[in-house]
Structure 1
Amino acid sequence: MGSLIRAKAARAGTKPAAAKVSTTKGHAGDVTLGERIRYAFDKSMAAGPVALAGWLALVSVVTIALAATILALTRIGPDGGFDFGEAAWQSLMRTMDAGTMGGDSGWVFRFVTLVVTLMGILVFSALISIISAGLDSALEGLRKGRSRVLETDHTIILNWSPSIFDILSELVIANASRRNPRIVIMADKDKVEMEDEIADKVPNLGNTRIICRNGDPTDLFDLSLVNAQTCRSIIVVSPEGAADPDSQVIKTVLALTNDPQRRIERYRIAAELRSAGNAEVARIVGGDEVQLVLADDLISRIVVQSSRQAGLSAVYSELLDFDGCEIYTTELEELVGVTWGDAIMGYEDSALIGLRYPDGRVRMNPPMDEVITAGSRAIIIAEDDAAIRLTPMADDAVDPTVIRKPVAVKRVAERVLIIGWNRRGPMIAHELSRYVKAGSVLTIAGDVPGLAEEVRAMPLGSRNMKVEVRIIDTSHAAALEALEPLTYDSIMVLGYSDHMEAQSADTRTLITLLHLRKLSERLGEHISVVSEMIDIRNRELAEVTRADDFVVSNRLVSLMLAQASENEYLSAIFDDLLDEDGSEIYMRPVGDYVDLDQPVSFYTIAEAAGRRGETAIGYRRRRPDEADDGRNMGGVVVNPSKSERLSYEPEDRVIVLAED
């Protein structure tokens, strides 16, 4: 019969039906009641301590109700027993206090109350454990810093790096005149560790309070904890130890500016980037809300300029820190219609250095005959914004009889030596090649792996400079002497920061500087040396090497970030100051501008500089008998009182903004 059916199916062109298999096993209909109860209990436990406390309360209610029912029905209690309400009360008291049953009589009654008491001990022990665990969890959450900040007008710092301590120190100074200033720090680091490090390295916080939070600055939920909607400014530092720190910074800026819950008003963001190649993407992401501090580019340019003019790093430090004079941008209606040359002479205790035009352009040291137009903002150096005021100049403030005519100085080819190497080396070489005359030579000496190949592949800014490589141990005195350092016009000593920890790199730098000092003393000739230090704390140790200048890389970046968070135009100002195409800071002999046979006012020096198309902003006078201000300025004074008359020596310098 089966074969007949298959034959008919084959003739009909159909396939025989598959045998039916039971699939009911394992379906919801086969789930037992116990499994359902267990699953429901598991789901309720997922709610946490609240659900567990609810279950304990239910067990207590059932126990008390059952005991009260037994006592009410059997009347086995003292004095003829209790009704249900009194029995429930007696049972409740015994669940809360085991000593309550001490006066009970009758073994049946004692047995019932003993059961109730034991259940009470079990329930309340579990409840105390839950409460304790909940408190521990809450305290742990507070310790980790996961609560939302409710401050307003506060400064936010995102990410963690060694530069954060210098940033905090500068912001503390800036906040001295503010009421209840707050700084909120968020980083992927333990809150207590952050607080301990800050307490150790920034002991004097003045009136500023620091609030630390643990979180990922690229995460929108974590960012909501710092309450960016009501902040004053935001600083994004390059994160310590990150494989690609620039990507982290750009993602953080993206999260801030594109947060769906962000405020309507624009943010004031200062962000640190290591590579200038990532600047375009960061500007696209941040728009006009972000000021970029290109750390390596900034340090490289200052190292190059300081190597050509000893003491220049002190000028940049003075302009960048909050202790002393600062750069302000302000609208001054009284300057409209006045030429630049007349405007710079209108302030006795402030120094005009540039203009920000209505279209957003910044220009330092405009032409002396340029007329200031409405809508322009004055860029000015002052002790504080209250000191910015026009001051009538006395008729005899300028002594034209002592002003000297400019003398052309012919530039010649230079020989420059770089000892040591790090990722900023190629930038320094590129920047240096843009300044030197044709025929100049740069010699690079170091012992890092692949140095020769890297130097051969690096691009230069011009063909004026030839580059040579010497592979030597830069901590060895004989190897350094073989370089014949006295034959070079200037020497730069870089730290091996890419291959060593900061302290080890600075130690290697100190050894090199000590060898150079010993060589200079033995030969009786001065060697012009500019050194890059990583940690500001090592600068005092380096003073014994008597190098001409120290560029403390981390500190300069920190100062720039702190200032940019307070002044939204600062990045553009320093871009112009450090650009070869605009006006830059130069330190030139005072004797080139005025006669040195009598005291002169700075008004006179400013007038002499103005006749050359330059803006004078300060001077450097080294006097061994004068007390140092404790800031290692090397006699540099920025924004002096223009009416004070001083005597100058041939080695003194005037600090000017000039095209060349």
Structure 2
Amino acid sequence: MSPASSSITPYASILTLKHSTNKDKFDTNHIILASSGAPLSKATKGITNTPVFIPVVIISVLFVLLFKFKNVIEGLLVQFRYQLLKLFSLPTIGKLAFLLVFTVPIILVGGSLYNVAAGTESWTEGFHKVYHTVTGFPEVEEESMWAKQLMSILNYVGMFAVASVIGFVSSDVSGAIERINTGNHNLLEKQHTVLLGWNKQTIPLLKQILLAQEERGYGTFNTPLIILADKCKEDMDSELKDELGTERLNTWITTRSGSPTRKSDLERVATGSARTVVIMASDEGASSLSTVLANITAVATVSQKVVLESGGGMKKLEDTGPGLLLQQMALTGNFSVVSVPSLSNLSDLVAQCATQPGMSAVFLELVTHDEGKEFYVQHVPSLVGKTFGEARRMFDGATLCGMVDSRNGKHQLNPDDGVTLGPSDSVLLLAGDARALKPSTKAINCEAIRATTEGVTAGSSAVEPSVKEFKEVMVICPSCDIPSELLDSLREFGQEGMRINVLLDKEAGTTSPESEGGERSKISYTNLDLESVSALIDEGLSTVDSVVVSLDQDQEGSVADAQVVATVVKILGALSTVSESRTKPVGIVCCIADPDTTNILKELLATFLDRSAPGVTLDVIEYRTLLGGMVTQIGAEPLLQPVFADLFDEDGDELYMQSLAHYGVPVSQSFMWGQIQEAVRANGDLLLGYLAKGGSARLSVPRSESVTLSPEDSLVVLAKGA
């Protein structure tokens, strides 16, 4: 049959049909679509007739499966939607990486299916065609109907992948991302960390948690870390971006606005499936805390660790509703409950710094996660049956400080060397990171160290304890009430016969009580103009051993810090005025919220040092950083809670600063650190490190390292309380 024809114009298309000479078949091979006489494309060949009932059967089966597994499919769709939302909240590099991971399997699987459908002999042909189809390659010619359909489907998939990349910068996707980042939709996480509440301690705590993840591993506080607080989400996100950086938000940390006292809000952040729940201290009272704890118990579906930042610790909660709930939660066996001291417990630390200058650097090194040393609790089967003294000598990069019974949490700090480690005993180690926790197979040069140490000790005359006597302490209270907790701590940690002079701001209108006397100390109160430098001098600033600047807890951190800086300036100015008449060193102790304020105070000290004469030390307690580090360490290892309580308490073992002469160790000579350890151990104390002349602490020195100490250096030891 001759091909049909007609005239061709630039504005018309002609469809010409050519039939095969075989009258029983219609050959579509001769369909040509032309414009202006030029062929545009060629149709595919060899379409095979497909029975009509096959698509009907396939569709029917799909409907039956959808109906039967409706709930399962709905759950999968919810999970898919949630994971898609998380995808759009990733940074650009994360989205591009996901598209790469998403596209490569499509090309591999699609290429394999194409080869089967098209019956190609070369497998690379399928991968090649699918690759170009997915990436937007023009439509290709196919002989098989199934191959053509498959390539069409893959073409749509490819269009979606390419369109997604383009959509990242388009208005629609940008709007969706903005809604996701600022939205408050439900979260479907598991084994994550939930932080309930927001206070001044939140940002320092998050910084310590992120550092702990880097040092101890991501299992310490599982990410993502979800914050639920009765605070505007935009405000929380803005503050987190400023303090932690944009890359942390929505990848490691997610915020949701809501109340921890509402069960529905707890469910929205998947509190029931969280591994760790941290409850921040609140001003709403015991009833609010009871509601939060009750809701946590109600929604929990897995065993959880509950970390409570309490104002006064577990002892003050025992007779309250929250205390009873915490006890019941612990008894169920589903919750590991631990309470961490809050700001009020800093009084003990301030008192220790007031009587032992430089102690703030030691506590900062012990508690915070940065470049310092932290406590680890670890069970080491190879140490079972060994004595504490034997185990102590088998660690080089870590210092063995005590033992913890993993069955009941009972601990022993600085036990005798003859105490034997049992099967349930874990060791308490002070180390820089987890890599230093593995013991050696034998004692590190033990005999040589002990022999040399005996010679050192024998060649030096023992002296009386070198802890400096602090008899005069001045407490300055700028525009704040009488710090009763601080005064109680000074009584407990102070030496017998201590005199404490409390200076109250006359302008604040605080009533000056009568002087107090006791067996160990005497407290006197004076109202005066604290803006006057001469008034400070008249009150005996030139004769005191220590000056404590009391913290005004009711003020915002930046305002309180500014007040502390102003007070320290006046103290340094007064000391420089009486430098010639001052006959003994003096220590200044203060608490600040922002670590940057520490640098300002150190610069001030350096400026005044020449004029105020040597012997002025400055202990700056970064209380928010310290508390954040403490919550992080105890949250990661609840067995550390009684250890920190013991270190801060006046009973039991305490940290002391001692001179080398106290242990008979000559100065300005090189010794292995292990030798100095054994000299200290001969007195029953445990050596943790030393405080250098400039005020920097170095803890857990490797046992095999050679060290030369100067007369101004102090040893940091763990010893029985006086």
**TM-score over 0.5 for the alignment?**
yes
Are the counterparts in 2 of residues 273 and 293 from structure 1 also a CA contact under 8 Å? yes
| Among candidates 159, 162, 166, match of residue 204 of structure 2 | 166
Matched residue type, 2:587? S
| Among candidates 190, 200, 218, match of residue 242 of structure 2 | 200
Name the residue aligned to 2:472. Answer: 415
| Among candidates 450, 456, 470, match of residue 402 of structure 1 | 456
Matched residue type, 1:213? R
Secondary structure of residue in 2 paired with 1:360: coil
Distance of 1:649 and 1:143 partners within structure 2: 56
**Structure 2 unaligned runs (5+)?**
1-172, 331-335, 606-616
| Among candidates 642, 646, 650, match of residue 703 of structure 2 | 642
Name the residue aligned to 2:34. Answer: none
Verify: 1:427 aligned to 2:485, yes or no: yes
Q: CA deviation at 1:285?
A: 2.0
Verify: 1:272 aligned to 2:333, yes or no: no
**Structure 1 unaligned runs (5+)?**
1-134, 624-633
Distance of 1:378 and 1:300 partners within structure 2: 29
Are the counterparts in 1 of residues 355 and 494 from structure 2 also a CA contact under 8 Å? no
Distance of 2:473 and 2:529 partners within structure 1: 19
Deviations 1:426-478 (A, max 9, x none): 1111122123343321111122756446x6699x9x63111111112323312
Distance of 2:181 and 2:669 partners within structure 1: 66
Name the residue aligned to 2:107. Answer: none
Q: CA deviation at 1:221?
A: 1.3
Verify: 1:386 aligned to 2:435, yes or no: yes
Distance of 2:714 and 2:701 partners within structure 1: 13
| Among candidates 651, 666, 672, match of residue 581 of structure 1 | 651
Look at both structures and tell me which one has the larger radius of gyration over its CA atoms: 1
Secondary structure of residue in 2 paired with 1:318: helix
Name the residue aligned to 2:343. Answer: 296
- Calculate the TM-score normalised by the size of structure 1: 0.71
Q: CA deviation at 1:412?
A: 5.8
Question: Residues 434 and 153 (structure 1 numbering): CA distance in 2 closer, same or farther, change over 3 Å?
Answer: same
Question: Residues 251 and 591 (structure 1 numbering): CA distance in 2 closer, same or farther, change over 3 Å?
Answer: farther
Are the counterparts in 2 of residues 532 and 553 from structure 1 also a CA contact under 8 Å? yes
Distance of 1:414 and 1:199 partners within structure 2: 48
Aligned positions of 1:235-246 closer than 5 A: 235-239=278-282, 242=283, 244=284
Distance of 1:487 and 1:308 partners within structure 2: 15
Identity over aligned pairs, percent: 23
Question: Residues 468 and 146 (structure 1 numbering): CA distance in 2 closer, same or farther, change over 3 Å?
Answer: same
Verify: 1:531 aligned to 2:590, yes or no: yes
Question: Residues 314 and 437 (structure 1 numbering): CA distance in 2 closer, same or farther, change over 3 Å?
Answer: closer
Deviations 1:386-435 (A, max 9, x none): 32122231243342212356433498672211111657921111122123
| Among candidates 327, 342, 356, match of residue 309 of structure 1 | 356
Are the counterparts in 2 of residues 234 and 269 from structure 1 also a CA contact under 8 Å? yes
Name the residue aligned to 1:284. Answer: 324
Secondary structure of residue in 1 paired with 2:590: strand
Are the counterparts in 2 of residues 364 and 577 from structure 1 also a CA contact under 8 Å? no
Verify: 1:436 aligned to 2:487, yes or no: no
Question: Residues 484 and 601 (structure 1 numbering): CA distance in 2 closer, same or farther, change over 3 Å?
Answer: same
Name the residue aligned to 1:571. Answer: 641
Distance of 2:497 and 2:198 partners within structure 1: 45
Question: Residues 204 and 365 (structure 1 numbering): CA distance in 2 closer, same or farther, change over 3 Å?
Answer: farther
Verify: 1:327 aligned to 2:375, yes or no: yes
Are the counterparts in 2 of residues 413 and 439 from structure 1 also a CA contact under 8 Å? no
Are the counterparts in 2 of residues 156 and 231 from structure 1 also a CA contact under 8 Å? yes
Q: CA deviation at 1:204?
A: 7.0
Distance of 1:341 and 1:205 partners within structure 2: 47
Distance of 1:182 and 1:488 partners within structure 2: 51
Are the counterparts in 2 of residues 414 and 439 from structure 1 also a CA contact under 8 Å? yes
Name the residue aligned to 1:253. Answer: 293
Q: CA deviation at 1:223?
A: 0.8
Name the residue aligned to 2:520. Answer: 464
Name the residue aligned to 1:620. Answer: 691
Name the residue aligned to 1:82. Answer: none
Secondary structure of residue in 1 paired with 2:493: coil
Q: CA deviation at 1:294?
A: 2.0
Name the residue aligned to 1:359. Answer: 408
Distance of 1:278 and 1:141 partners within structure 2: 44
Distance of 1:249 and 1:456 partners within structure 2: 38
Name the residue aligned to 2:266. Answer: 223
Are the counterparts in 1 of residues 465 and 662 from structure 2 also a CA contact under 8 Å? no
Distance of 1:155 and 1:251 partners within structure 2: 20
Matched residue type, 2:534? A
Distance of 2:247 and 2:393 partners within structure 1: 38
Deviations 1:171-197 (A, max 9, x none): 222223439831100100111111111
The root-mean-square deviation of aligned C-alpha atoms, in Å, is 2.9
Question: Residues 554 and 190 (structure 1 numbering): CA distance in 2 closer, same or farther, change over 3 Å?
Answer: same
Verify: 1:542 aligned to 2:542, yes or no: no
Distance of 1:519 and 1:142 partners within structure 2: 57
Aligned positions of 1:113-132 closer than 5 A: none
Name the residue aligned to 1:506. Answer: 561
Which has the higher mean CA deviation after the structures are superposed, 213-222 or 321-330?
321-330
Aligned residue pairs: how many?
Answer: 505
Matched residue type, 1:512? T
Distance of 1:521 and 1:658 partners within structure 2: 36
- Calculate the TM-score normalised by the size of structure 2: 0.65
Secondary structure of residue in 2 paired with 1:367: coil
